């Protein structure tokens, strides 16, 4: 038994915040942001618009493409760093909003690596016979973790959601995955707030050591792709498309060079979406799928790195 993606969906909040808008609220410029990140604009969730609301819209679109109904779904995994509330999980909230009354649902917290971790988990559920039709979602309202006076972080992130339907298949879809974590590097990217005795302890804002994250990301992404391809006995030339975590154009370009891929074989949405953490890969995947860029039978590489530190890659047949 294998698992295969049969539908994709995405959703972006209506509000668009451009670099020129940011020039009015923080000491920065469009040129400074764009030259360092490739980001021109990002979307911001409306007041009262929750992560589960973003996830719901992306899920409905993925289900429509896949032709599945709520009665078909027996596993829901939501990858998110910005859950609706402390508990229950955003996945259970999404399950209720969709009207799914069977199966199981839970969240996956691996920050920007969340979607590849969630996709691998759903694949293992299906291969093990514990699920047949899985809804895997990456959804984030990251702008609520931003200090809008900190130009090193507030210019980089946005809100959104992406989803896929993964279903049991007799032919290989997901070919393999390789995941890693190393908590020694957790201080490079974090939001260390916690709730105790009715109060917030620590800082609720995101902190990032940008230079350290960049160097680490370029190194480990190259390594994990090499590991995965070695396991599968494949070469760089076997990869038709790269759908990377949309964090920074420089990291993406460095990864493409390592793989010997021209940038016209790389799905890029960072310019319009910013870094949407766990939502970035499924958002990009849906964008490419609906544009007809990715063709049946092509091999697609997904890769991501995020706070933890965590990193991983998934290779699949489209």
Residues 113, 108: Cα–Cα separation, whole Å: 10
Which class for 5: exposed (0-12), middle (13-18), buried (19 or more C-beta within 10 A)?
buried
User: CB-hemisphere CA count at 13 Å for 67?
Assistant: 1
Is 275 tagged catalytic?
yes
Handedness of CA 69, 116, 40, 193 (dihedral sign): positive
Contact present, 122 and 136 (Cβ < 8 Å): yes
Phi, psi of 39 (to 5 degrees): -95, 130
> Can 248 be counted among the known catalytic residues?
no
Identify the active-site residue in 112, 120, 154, 317.
Answer: 112
Interstrand relation of 310-317 and 299-306 (parallel, antiparallel or unpaired): antiparallel
Chain-centroid distance, C-alpha 213: 17
Place of tokens 């494949």: 234
Q: Which of 19, 120, 245, 317 is catalytic?
A: 245
**Cβ pair 100, 68 in contact under 8 A:** no
Rounded Cα distance between 89 and 163, Å, is 17
Pick the catalytic residue: 19, 120, 275, 317? 275
Residue 252 vs residues 39, 219, 249, 303: alpha-carbon distances, Å: 13, 12, 5, 10
* Residues annotated as part of the active site: 112, 245, 275
């Amino acid at each position: 038994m294998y698992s295969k993606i049969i539908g994709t969906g995405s959703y972006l909040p209506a509000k668009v915040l451009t670099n020129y808008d940011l020039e009015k609220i923080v000491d920065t410029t469009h040129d400074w942001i764009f030259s360092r990140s490739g980001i021109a604009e990002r979307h911001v969730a409306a007041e009262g618009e929750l992560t589960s609301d973003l996830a719901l819209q992306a899920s409905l679109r993925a289900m429509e493409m896949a032709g599945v109904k709520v009665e078909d779904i027996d596993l829901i995994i939501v990858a998110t760093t910005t859950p609706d509330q402390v508990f229950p999980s955003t996945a259970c909230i999404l399950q209720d909003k969709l009207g799914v009354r069977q199966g199981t649902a839970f969240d996956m917290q691996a920050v920007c690596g969340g979607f590849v971790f969630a996709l691998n988990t759903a694949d293992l559920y299906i291969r093990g016979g514990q699920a047949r039709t899985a809804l895997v979602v990456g959804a984030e309202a990251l702008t609520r973790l931003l200090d809008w006076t900190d130009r090193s972080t507030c210019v980089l992130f946005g809100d959104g959601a992406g989803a896929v339907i993964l279903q049991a298949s007799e032919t290989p879809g997901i070919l393999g995955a390789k995941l890693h974590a190393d908590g020694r590097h957790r201080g490079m990217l974090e939001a260390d707030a916690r709730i105790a005795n009715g109060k917030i302890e620590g800082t609720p804002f995101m902190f990032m050591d940008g230079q350290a994250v960049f160097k680490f990301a370029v190194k480990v992404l190259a390594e994990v792709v090499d590991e995965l391809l070695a396991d599968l006995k494949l070469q760089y030339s076997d990869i038709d498309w790269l759908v990377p975590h949309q964090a920074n154009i420089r990291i993406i370009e460095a990864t493409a060079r390592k793989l010997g891929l021209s940038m016209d074989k790389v799905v890029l949405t960072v310019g319009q979406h910013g870094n949407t953490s766990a939502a970035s890969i499924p958002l990009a995947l849906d964008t490419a799928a609906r544009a007809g860029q990715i063709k049946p039978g092509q091999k697609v590489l997904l890769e991501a790195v995020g706070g933890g530190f965590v990193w991983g890659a998934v290779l699949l047949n489209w």
